[in-house]
Amino acid sequence: MPPGPFVASDPKVIVLLDGKSFPVLFDLTKVEKKDLFTGTYMPSTNLTGGYRILSYLDPSEPKHEKLKNLIFFLLKSRSNNVIPQFHSNYTDLFDSLDIELSKNGKASFSGNDQTAFTFLCRAFYGTDPKDTSLGSDGPSLVQKWVLFNLSPELSLGLPKFIEDPILHTFRLPSIFVKSDYKRLYDFFYGSAGFVLEEAERQGISRDEACHNILFATCFNTFGGVKIFFPALMKWIGGPGNKELHSRLAQEIRSAVKSNGGEVTIATMEEMPLMKSVVYETFRIDPPVPLQYAKAKQDMVIENHENSFQVKKGEMLFGFQPFATKDPKIFERAEEFVGDRFLGEEGEKLLKYVLWSNGPETESPSVRNKQCPGKDFVVLVSRLLVVEMFLRYDSFEVEATKSALGYDLNFISLAKATS
């Protein structure tokens, strides 16, 4: 795996190729996760204030529990703000899409970046970045900083003879993003006082806490939404899905109407098709497809056909679609099947949906490396589908692959007629 030897001390990995072998990556009795978030290399801590951030800590390390509990505290304390802020911010985005489509015949979903960043800042911290010195620069600053973190393994679509020496052989110097990162840090330090106070009560310095909530908000959550929301629209808005749209619109509007016109978590539990569609997108197009772990001991790993000896210290690597498109687990594994997870038999397949660095049927805790924002990301993904079909009967998109997900255009947005 990239990067090369000047960045990674050992680029060799053992690849897990199916849904049976893949879950060993989550078994912390057999593997460790220290400094493996990005794989065979770890970005310089100069990019994160000199700290090893939560994502790079193994659960056996004492700070892992404190920092993960801090993220849980943030999510829980601001949970009542999520649905109203999502509705407000994404209504504005849909309004702009309608205007752009009527003018140009198509509308770019690129505004999702600014909308998502503003939504997260208002929902989590009660602050609109446009009202601060950060202005509307947040998404571009985050994107540049993420590039410096991930450049050793990213492909930007350039010829190999350019990408390999520039991106995959040497680290990009962190000094070039230092002032951008400082602007982000100052915004979070000024907006997240209640989280920093809780951190001090837990024995974490305000400085370390701020770098961690910046990473959790910008890299983990904003980065995930930036990639996954266009993917969700691509798969739902693909050709031949008009019947699926009709079923979604009917289910969503009926559930909302029967609950007094309100969108709540309980209301969305009455939308099994909508939930299935979101899970199916996580299955077929996971936002973070690469997972790594290092063997703690000599062991034998089984796949569907064979058994393999792995030595202590060897690096295990999983490209998630190898597992989530395993044809021995999923019928029509390469196809988007919106109602795949309906019913009792469908729900049994959820344990094979692994986007959150763990099975969908399990929950993040301080004892594992499952994404602490797992339930939040599922919630906002469901909200996007609900908001779309409360507003539109159907839509069509054009999508092209990019370095981070898809470039997406809406070419049709049919307003709701009932």
Annotation-wise, does 121 bind a ligand?
no
Name which of 368, 293, 347 is nearest 54 in CA terms. Answer: 368
Give the relative orientation of helices 193-201 and 62-77 as an angle to the nearest 10 degrees. 140
Hey, what amino acid is at 46?
A: N
C-alpha 42/C-alpha 12 separation (Å) is 15
Instruction: Report residue 231 as tokens.
Output: 């993917």
In angstroms, what CA-CA distances link 401 with 87, 103, 111?
A: 28, 25, 17
C-alpha 210/C-alpha 193 separation (Å) is 9
Name which of 258, 257, 238, 236 is nearest 247 in CA terms. Answer: 236
Place of tokens 């030897």: 5
Q: Where are the beta strands (DSSP E) in 78-232?
A: 107-108
C-alpha 71/C-alpha 68 separation (Å) is 5
Cβ pair 65, 366 in contact under 8 A: yes
Q: Give the strand pairing for 14-16 and 315-319.
A: parallel
CA dihedral 149→139→279→288, nearest 10 degrees, is -10
Q: Where are the beta strands (DSSP E) in 73-113?
A: 107-108
Instruction: Report residue 211 as tokens.
Output: 């770098």
Please name the residues in contact with 239: beta carbons below 8 A apart, sequence gap of 6 or more. 396
Hey, what amino acid is at 146?
A: V
C-alpha 274/C-alpha 256 separation (Å) is 13
C-alpha 26/C-alpha 291 separation (Å) is 9
Name which of 220, 198, 219, 218 is nearest 209 in CA terms. Answer: 198
Task: Calculate ∠ Cα 346-324-223, nearest 5°.
Answer: 110
Residues in the annotated binding site for heme: 371
Residues in the annotated binding site: 371
